[in-house]
Amino acid sequence: MEALLQSPLAGTGPRLVPLLILIGLVTIEAGLSWYRGRAAYDLGETAATGVIMAGQRLIGLIAAPLVLVPLFAAAELRPFEIDPATPLGLAALFLGVEFCYYWHHRAMHRVRLLWATHGVHHSATRLNLTAAFRLGWGGQLTGGFLFYLPLVLIGFPPFAVLAMLAANLFYQLFLHTAWMPRLGPLEAVMNTPRHHHVHHAVNDVCIDRNFGGVTIVFDRMFGTFQPVPAEELRYGRVDGAPTRNPFRVALGGWIDLGRRLGTARSLKSGLAAVFGRP
């Protein structure tokens, strides 16, 4: 998603255009939802998301070396380099990133340290385009890059891995649209808004399902796929975490982690506080 807001080109103009496109898409979605009589947006949540997004981008820029340095250090250990510009290399990189993303995303729901930031993304009670940008602060501190490190070690250039991951996340922006169209046979392979709405829902049958990025293949392979149930989908956090105070939303996971560590009385309980299930 961040690729939509951050252009590699210098200057205000190139950076402003994607933001204006996003605002335009959000305006269209909100207008269509209003016309259809659906409350797809909550003004308080949307405003909070704007603050969360700004903080996430600022922290991300400051903490970027925590990701880049180990990736480029790992690149020095490659026995050879795989050319991602060839059709075979590009296909392998796409599948490799998709596979690593699936397990990273699944771990973010199973490990409290990773959930401390990822839980922010699940806090919105209205699923829409802006919810895609409700991302946690300090994700670089949780070591998520380790899931993609094997791709660099087997020969893919670090920037190629990061670029493919950015493309994967950009695709996911449109999975958050309030509209859930039926896409027919594509839904057997591709991750779609219907599949991703299930991922965000807090209905019992939907918890910890549909972790894929661009595809839904690995969910089907590893038993985490869930189609849209007959019951109405509900969104937000199971624990009823706040949704409108941006600082409580962004820092709540870290505060909870700190409390658990503070009350830990042994190494075992300390490890459970960090790596246990949220």
DSSP states of 25-79: HHHHHHHHHHHTT-----HHHHHHHHHHHHHHHHHHHHHTHHHHHHHHHHHTT-S
Q: Which domain holds residue 67?
A: 2-275
Which pLDDT belongs to residue 241? 80
Q: How confident is the model at residue 137 (pLDDT cuts 50, 70, 90)?
A: very high
* pLDDT greater than 90 at residue 18: no
Collapse the DSSP code of 142 into the 3-class scheme (helix H, G, I; strand E, B; otherwise coil) and give the result.
Answer: helix
* pLDDT greater than 50 at residue 9: no
Name the strand (E) or helix (H) holding 139. Answer: none
**Mean pLDDT calculated for residue range 103-124:** 97
**Mean pLDDT calculated for residue range 8-24:** 59
* pLDDT greater than 80 at residue 48: yes
* pLDDT greater than 90 at residue 178: yes
**13-49 core/surface letters (b: 16 or more CB in 10 A; e: else):** eeeeeeeeebeebbeebbeebeeeeeebbbeebbebb
* pLDDT greater than 50 at residue 265: yes
pTM score over 0.85:
yes
User: What single DSSP character describes residue 226?
Assistant: -
* pLDDT greater than 90 at residue 63: yes
Which pLDDT belongs to residue 24? 86
> In degrees, to the nearest 5, what angle opens at C-alpha 18 toward C-alphas 15 and 24?
140
Which pLDDT belongs to residue 17? 58
Number of Cβ atoms within 10 Å of the Cβ of 164: 24
Question: Which stretch of 35-49, 74-88, 170-184, 262-276 has the lowest confidence by average pLDDT?
Answer: 35-49
> In degrees, to the nearest 5, what angle opens at C-alpha 90 toward C-alphas 84 and 91?
150
Domain count within the chain: 1
How far is it, in rounded angstroms, from Cα 127 to Cα 195? 13
Which pLDDT belongs to residue 257? 96
**Mean pLDDT calculated for residue range 85-94:** 97
Q: How confident is the model at residue 26 (pLDDT cuts 50, 70, 90)?
A: confident
